[in-house]
Structure 1
Amino acid sequence: MSLPPLPDMILDPLVRAALMEDLGTYGDLTTRTVIPEGTRYSARIRAREAGIVSGMQVARIAFHMVDPALKLRVLKPDGAPIAPGDVLMEIEGDAASILSAERVALNFAGRLSGIATMTAAYVAETGGTQARITCTRKTTPGLRIVEKQAVLHGGGFNHRFSLSDAILVKDNHIAAAGGVRPVLQAIKARASHMIRVEIEVDTLDQLEEVLDEGGAEAVLLDNMDTGEIGEAVRLTAGRLCLEASGNMRLERIAEVAATGVDYISAGALTHSAKTLDLGLDF
């Protein structure tokens, strides 16, 4: 999916932290020892397997943060489909600079491309339905912004970025507050009209409580089987946005999407995606 890039200044701290981790206290010792000063080379990042690319913006920032003089050309922008052997980026300039930024650039690009690729596989299973695939907050600490961007590159949608984005009442909130009705009554009494509200339910009885009490715009159907999800769609009759969540494996997506739910959320998109195999060659 083609999207406007994030502002570089948002991503700069993530990339800087990764480079500082990799360069350590003394920089790239191997490169400084064996590469003659002033050596220039050209390099290419290539795909070694098929997928959806993500992380080219982050890779570009990494190379330019090490050496602003490097010349970069992105041939496969974020969101583009790629095949084995495709050249994603060309880099030309100081060989030491390229080598010093290589691993950080590839770590980000491989990880994010893996997320985009897995998301695209989930999205493909929703064809012919209204269901949208969305991620969760089960992201790598510190990398949420880029991992959620990778989900967008794969054709998915984003859930909350943080706890302050919306009210999402989970089972433990319900338990601590004394039930579905007390939770919804508290929301109606205290929440701003500008805040969107979603509540998680484990049973159809809880869903009927939500429909009767009101106070939420969306309901998260947690760990329900496909038959229960279909019945929830029938009971709701379009009055609320429905999100199916929990145990949303790839092989289940088509049948869940066919029930008529609005969203299917899968933590696996960010916590279980396989890194896409990318390489950099001189």
Structure 2
Amino acid sequence: MAGLPIAQRVFQLLNGNIVFNPIIKEGTKVKVGEVLATLDGPLDGLLTGERVALNLAMRLSGIATMTRQYTEIIADLPTQLVDTRKTTPGLRILEKYAIQVGGAKNHRMGLDDGVMIKDNHIKAAGGIQGAIQSIRKTIPYPLTIEVETTTFDEVKEALKYGADIIMLDNMNLELMKESVTYIRRENKQIKIEASGNITLDNLRQVALTGVDYISSSAPITRSTWLDLSMRID
């Protein structure tokens, strides 16, 4: 369950006389038919807020549920699951909140949280070297630079020119293992992220390659809404 405080806020904004009493805590696994919260207040406020509150809680609970499924698979490993910026327009903060409720970590909230050099940036800059060197001249010191790589040569170039984080994007397991071994041997301080086509079936195998993070948009983009209802007594 995720989103009860959000649902509560919906009703509070509509009518301050509505009393919202959560029965369970955020992040709790729930069963079909279980009562999650009770509300007491004017009928017009309850019915006006019903669909907005339910939609948000249903959406966030679906995200938290799928996130929990992912995190439980690698719970005994040091690798952390993180989300992406593939979020519903206008709902990023809430959806990333649901990711945390499900037990994963947040990646960047926006473009200003850190620098990620992707394939289009590399092409525009004429290569990884040019992209990193031009960015280093202008970004504030605390910001990190992450480079998206798809080949072993790109991994070596990103490492050579000072990337803080190296993303292994859409690599097969063998290439990923080779890249992790190389990066660890050359610089143990570099953080490694795996991304691209991460599923429940291959998540653990990816984590066992030794990466620090696995990023996936699936819990947000592919999760199913939890079925919730509000009943007037």
TM-score of Structure 1 vs Structure 2, range by shorter chain: over 0.9
Q: Is 2:107 the partner of 1:159?
A: yes
Residue 209 of structure 2 is aligned with which of 259, 262, 265?
259
1:127 alignment counterpart: 75
Question: Larger C-alpha radius of gyration, 1 or 2?
Answer: 1
Q: Is 2:36 the partner of 1:88?
A: yes
Query: Equivalent residue of 2:57, what SS?
Result: helix
Where does 1:126-275 land on structure 2 (aligned, <5 Å)?
Answer: 126-214=74-162, 216-237=163-184, 238-275=188-225
Task: Give the Cα–Cα distance (whole angstroms) in 1 for the partners of residues 218 and 73 of structure 2.
Answer: 15
Task: Give the Cα–Cα distance (whole angstroms) in 2 for the partners of residues 200 and 139 of structure 1.
Answer: 20
Please tell me the root mean square deviation across aligned C-alpha atoms, in Å: 1.1
Residue 78 of structure 1 is aligned with which of 10, 26, 45?
26
Query: Equivalent residue of 1:190, what SS?
Result: coil
Query: Equivalent residue of 2:40, what SS?
Result: strand
Query: Equivalent residue of 2:33, what SS?
Result: coil
Task: Give the Cα–Cα distance (whole angstroms) in 2 for the partners of residues 231 and 74 of structure 1.
Answer: 49
Shift of 1:86: 2.0
Task: Give the Cα–Cα distance (whole angstroms) in 1 for the partners of residues 31 and 193 of structure 2.
Answer: 33
One-letter identity of the residue aligned with 1:114: G
1:37 alignment counterpart: none
Normalized per residue, which structure has more strand?
A: 1
Shift of 1:67: 1.3
Does structure 2 retain, via aligned residues, the 8 Å contact 1:221–1:245?
A: yes
More displaced stretch, 237-246 vs 166-175: 237-246
Shift of 1:250: 1.5
2:226 alignment counterpart: 276
Does structure 2 retain, via aligned residues, the 8 Å contact 1:120–1:154?
A: yes
Percent identity, aligned pairs only, is 39
More displaced stretch, 80-89 vs 228-237: 80-89
Shift of 1:280: 1.2
One-letter identity of the residue aligned with 2:172: D
Task: Give the Cα–Cα distance (whole angstroms) in 2 for the partners of residues 196 and 85 of structure 1.
Answer: 47
Shift of 1:190: 2.6
Task: Give the Cα–Cα distance (whole angstroms) in 1 for the partners of residues 230 and 174 of structure 2.
Answer: 48
Shift of 1:85: 2.2
Task: Give the Cα–Cα distance (whole angstroms) in 1 for the partners of residues 229 and 97 of structure 2.
Answer: 22
In structure 2, stretches of 5+ residues that fail to align are none
Shift of 1:128: 2.1
Task: Give the Cα–Cα distance (whole angstroms) in 1 for the partners of residues 182 and 135 of structure 2.
Answer: 23
Does structure 2 retain, via aligned residues, the 8 Å contact 1:129–1:260?
A: no
Where does 1:4-83 land on structure 2 (aligned, <5 Å)?
Answer: 53-83=1-31
Any idea what the Cα deviations from partners look like across 1:229-266, whole Å, max 9, x if unmatched?
11111111133101100101121101111111111111
Task: Give the Cα–Cα distance (whole angstroms) in 2 for the partners of residues 191 and 67 of structure 1.
Answer: 46
One-letter identity of the residue aligned with 1:260: G
Q: Which runs of 4+ in 1 moved over 3 A?
A: none
Does structure 2 retain, via aligned residues, the 8 Å contact 1:168–1:198?
A: yes
Task: Give the Cα–Cα distance (whole angstroms) in 2 for the partners of residues 279 and 252 of structure 1.
Answer: 35
Task: Give the Cα–Cα distance (whole angstroms) in 2 for the partners of residues 150 and 77 of structure 1.
Answer: 13
Shift of 1:138: 0.4
